[in-house]
């Protein structure tokens, strides 16, 4: 019976029937060459004396196996790329390398956890490069420049879409070739660098008098601005213009006596004795003053009452895991808010907060004061002329 080794020793070459070039060579080291006579790896394929080559080989110590892509130029073989399987910390993984001569450099790897690492050899979030995990997590780290770029061609529309369970919940849009808008549905903030403005938007056009900034359950703290806010006061947009009634004057007179000093409880909790003193009214007292005068405070825009619903969920602490890109986080209670009872789950806590629009309240008190002074002055004039 003829053994494979006997075949290698006795049949050194299998000549191509179509050409003089050697089709297959098995040398004394049992290296197999296809298209060449001097294979230097267990399997080497080459087309022509100056063609491209494909090699299957292993390192001298047997620690790694690789598939190499080479190109022969003027008798010199240049390594163009390798796919290498290695042990030494990446068991079961693949390493992809490229090169311009006899040496190669790692460009990408798939590690034994199924992560794709580009430009880096570790999953550490602080190391420059890209990570794509099998569970969908992606990270990009780069020094001294942006980490990602998105370019929509031809027309305006969504550049980036954000989804939850397959449903669109937000996007970043381009508009008019120079604006970007961030938001969802018909509620966007549009950034217009040409006019130095941030405007409410539908995502494709401006949206007037429809979008609130903050809510009763999620308030901004301080607003820093060079000038005060501007409210429209055009007569062409108003109706039912009238002076205050006697009942409104009575209520406003009572409200003018309700201004007090106070401190916010949450600021005392966080700042202690450093919490500052504020001046203003108590919304419940304003409501009572209106009711005492026979008026319904909810019919006036200076009085606000907002109701929402909350649920509370305990979230456990998370330990840092640099390999998985996880940052440490203390345990906390997450509060979820819902605008209506229909949206809120069973067991949600109902919350109500009263508020005051001070510019309108002060205008209400001011109008009453002016009308009272006018009446007093008229009576004094009448007395003086009597």
DSSP 4-73: HHHHHHH--EEE-SSSSSEEEEE-TT--EEES-S---SSEEEE-STTSEEEEEEE-TTSSEEEEEEEEEE
Going by pLDDT thresholds of 50, 70 and 90, the confidence category of residue 19 is very low
pLDDT score at 34: 84
Question: Higher pLDDT residue, 284 or 46?
Answer: 284
Give me 109's structure tokens: 């790897």
pLDDT score at 149: 94
Q: In sequence order, what are the beta bridge partners of 131?
A: 117, 139
Determine contact, residues 311/349, Cβ cutoff 8 Å. yes
Task: Answer yes or no: do 275 and 200 share one domain.
Answer: no
Nearest CA among 92, 121, 99 for reference residue 130: 121
Question: Which pLDDT tens digit goes with each residue over 323-350?
Answer: 666 788 899 999 999 999 999 999 999 9
**CA 373 to CA 370: how far, in whole Å?**
5
Structural domain that includes position 270 = 242-385
pLDDT score at 8: 46
pLDDT score at 282: 98
Task: Answer yes or no: do 168 and 273 share one domain.
Answer: no
Task: Answer yes or no: do 203 and 247 share one domain.
Answer: no
Task: Answer yes or no: do 263 and 164 share one domain.
Answer: no
Determine contact, residues 185/168, Cβ cutoff 8 Å. no
Task: Answer yes or no: do 174 and 254 share one domain.
Answer: no
48-62, 300-314, 331-345, range with the lowest pLDDT:
48-62
**Average pLDDT of every residue of the chain:** 86
Going by pLDDT thresholds of 50, 70 and 90, the confidence category of residue 201 is very high
DSSP classification of residue 204:
S
Task: Answer yes or no: do 264 and 353 share one domain.
Answer: yes
The total domain count for the chain is 3
* Domain assignment present for 17: yes
Determine contact, residues 106/96, Cβ cutoff 8 Å. yes
Q: In sequence order, what are the beta bridge partners of 110?
A: 94, 116
* Domain assignment present for 216: no
Looking up residue 282, the CATH number of its domain turns out to be 1.10.10.10
* Domain assignment present for 220: no
pLDDT score at 91: 58
* Domain assignment present for 331: yes
Between the two ends of the chain, the Cα-to-Cα distance in Å is 146
Portion of the chain with pLDDT greater than 90, in percent? 56
* Domain assignment present for 272: yes
Task: Answer yes or no: do 302 and 358 share one domain.
Answer: yes
Burial of 131 (0-12, 13-18, 19+ CB in 10 A): buried
Question: Higher pLDDT residue, 1 or 124?
Answer: 124
64-73, 297-306, 371-380, range with the lowest pLDDT:
64-73
Tell me the average pLDDT across 254-261: 97
Task: Answer yes or no: do 205 and 274 share one domain.
Answer: no
pLDDT score at 15: 44
* Domain assignment present for 229: no
Question: Higher pLDDT residue, 39 or 277?
Answer: 277
Task: Answer yes or no: do 249 and 371 share one domain.
Answer: yes
* Domain assignment present for 256: yes
Portion of the chain with pLDDT greater than 70, in percent? 86
Tell whether the model's pLDDT for residue 102 goes beyond 90.
no
**CA 148 to CA 238: how far, in whole Å?**
49
Task: Answer yes or no: do 188 and 311 share one domain.
Answer: no
**CA 249 to CA 233: how far, in whole Å?**
22
pTM of the model: 0.70
Determine contact, residues 22/13, Cβ cutoff 8 Å. yes
Tell whether the model's pLDDT for residue 5 goes beyond 60.
no
pLDDT score at 240: 96
Task: Answer yes or no: do 182 and 312 share one domain.
Answer: no
Task: Answer yes or no: do 309 and 198 share one domain.
Answer: no
The CA–CA distances, whole Å, from 306 to 62, 209, 218, 263, 287 equal 72, 19, 11, 22, 14
């Amino acid at each position: 019976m003829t053994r494979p080794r006997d075949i290698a020793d006795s049949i050194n070459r299998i000549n191509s029937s179509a050409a003089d070039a050697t089709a297959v060579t098995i040398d004394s080291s049992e290296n197999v060459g296809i298209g060449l006579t001097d294979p230097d790896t267990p399997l080497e394929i080459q087309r022509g004396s100056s063609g491209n080559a494909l090699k299957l080989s292993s390192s001298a110590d047997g620690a790694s196996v690789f598939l190499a892509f080479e190109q022969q130029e003027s008798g010199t073989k240049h390594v163009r790329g390798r796919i290498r399987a290695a042990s030494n910390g990446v068991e079961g993984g693949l390493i992809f390398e490229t090169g311009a001569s006899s040496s190669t450099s790692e460009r990408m790897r798939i590690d034994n956890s199924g992560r794709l690492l580009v430009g880096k050899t570790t999953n550490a979030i602080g190391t420059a490069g890209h990570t794509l995990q099998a569970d969908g997590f992606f990270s990009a780290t780069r020094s001294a420049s942006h980490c990602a770029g998105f370019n929509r061609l031809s027309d305006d529309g969504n550049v980036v879409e954000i989804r939850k369970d397959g449903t669109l919940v937000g996007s970043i849009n381009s508009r008019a070739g120079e604006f970007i808008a961030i938001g969802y549905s018909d509620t966007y903030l549009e950034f217009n660098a040409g006019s130095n403005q941030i405007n409410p938007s539908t995502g494709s056009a401006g949206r007037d008098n429809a979008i609130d900034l903050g809510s009763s359950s999620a308030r901004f703290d301080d607003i820093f601005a060079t000038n005060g806010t501007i409210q429209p006061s055009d007569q062409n947009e108003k109706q039912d213009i009238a002076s205050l009634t006697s009942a409104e004057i009575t209520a406003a007179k009572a409200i003018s006596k309700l201004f007090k000093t106070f401190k916010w409880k949450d600021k005392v909790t966080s700042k202690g004795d450093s919490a500052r003193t504020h001046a203003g009214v108590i919304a419940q007292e304003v409501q009572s003053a209106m009711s005492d005068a026979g008026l319904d405070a909810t019919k006036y825009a200076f009085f606000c009452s907002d109701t929402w619903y909350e649920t509370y969920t305990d979230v456990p602490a998370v330990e840092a895991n640099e390999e998985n890109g996880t940052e440490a986080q203390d345990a906390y209670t997450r509060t979820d808010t819902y605008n209506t009872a229909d949206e809120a789950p069973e067991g949600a806590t109902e919350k109500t907060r009263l508020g005051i629009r001070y510019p309108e309240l002060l205008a209400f008190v001011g109008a009453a004061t002016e009308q009272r002074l006018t009446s007093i002055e008229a009576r004094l004039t009448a007395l003086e002329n009597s």
